[in-house]
């Protein structure tokens, strides 16, 4: 819980600092259309605080049902909430042109899962720290699109230990750490 309040305080102070900076440029509403197709409702707010820097904060609600089962570990009706923040550093470029960016993001997620193979429900928290590289494409005056990829580390308070080729059923373990890969697309509206 202390970690959550520390992260929340950091996010809020960053947003306040960005709003008081005199070089404020644009505000964007950020949506993730591909994630919406699989039951992830994610929306964000990006605030440019100079020509080359911005701060992005996102909220996400996600869920799934019997149509999206994992074949190795049967899950049903899982849902979760996530809060993500990111600082982006854009290359110095002329206005209304495509530009690349580097970003560092932090995610805190809470989710609930139900394993059908043992009839057990469990909750966990996920913390993730990632570095991203991407390109912002200028579509028109009021719309941009980002394509990005990244790599990071993810920590789960409770996770399912993978067993490759084993005959034993997967087991729940505490404090599972593994790499995190990012690949995505978002649309930004001014």
Domain positions in the chain are 2-189
The CATH number assigned to the domain with range 2-189 reads: 2.40.160.20
Q: What is the pLDDT along the chain (190 residues), one digit of tens a residue?
A: 555 555 555 555 555 555 544 444 689 999 998 888 777 889 999 998 887 899 999 999 877 655 445 544 455 556 788 999 999 999 877 666 788 999 999 999 887 766 656 666 777 788 999 999 999 998 888 899 999 999 999 988 876 666 665 556 666 677 888 899 999 999 999 8
**Tokens representing 143?**
């719309």
**What is the H or E stretch that residue 189 is in?**
strand 171-189
- Exposure class string for 122-155: b at 16+ Cβ within 10 A, else e: eebbbbbebebebebeeeeeeebebebebebebe
Q: pTM for this one?
A: 0.73
Taking CA atoms, 64 is separated from 41, 76, 108, 115, 180, in Å, by 11, 7, 19, 13, 21
């Amino acid at each position: 819980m202390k970690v959550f309040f520390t992260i929340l305080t950091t996010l809020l102070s960053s947003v306040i600092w960005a709003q008081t900076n005199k070089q404020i440029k644009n505000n964007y509403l950020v949506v993730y259309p591909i994630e919406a197709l699989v039951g992830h409702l994610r929306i964000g707010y990006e605030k440019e605080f100079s020509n080359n820097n911005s701060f992005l904060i996102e909220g996400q609600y996600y869920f799934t049902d019997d149509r999206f089962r994992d074949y190795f570990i049967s899950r049903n009706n899982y849902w979760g909430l996530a809060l993500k923040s990111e600082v982006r550093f854009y290359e110095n470029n002329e206005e209304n042109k495509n530009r690349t960016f580097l970003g560092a993001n932090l995610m805190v997620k809470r989710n609930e899962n139900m394993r059908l193979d043992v009839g057990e429900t469990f909750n966990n928290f996920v913390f993730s720290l990632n570095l991203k590289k991407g390109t912002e494409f200028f579509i028109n005056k009021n719309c941009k699109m980002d394509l990005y990829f990244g790599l990071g580390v993810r920590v789960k308070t409770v996770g399912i230990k993978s067993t490759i080729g084993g005959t034993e059923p997967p087991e729940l373990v505490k404090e599972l750490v593994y790499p995190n890969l990012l690949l995505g697309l978002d649309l930004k509206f001014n």
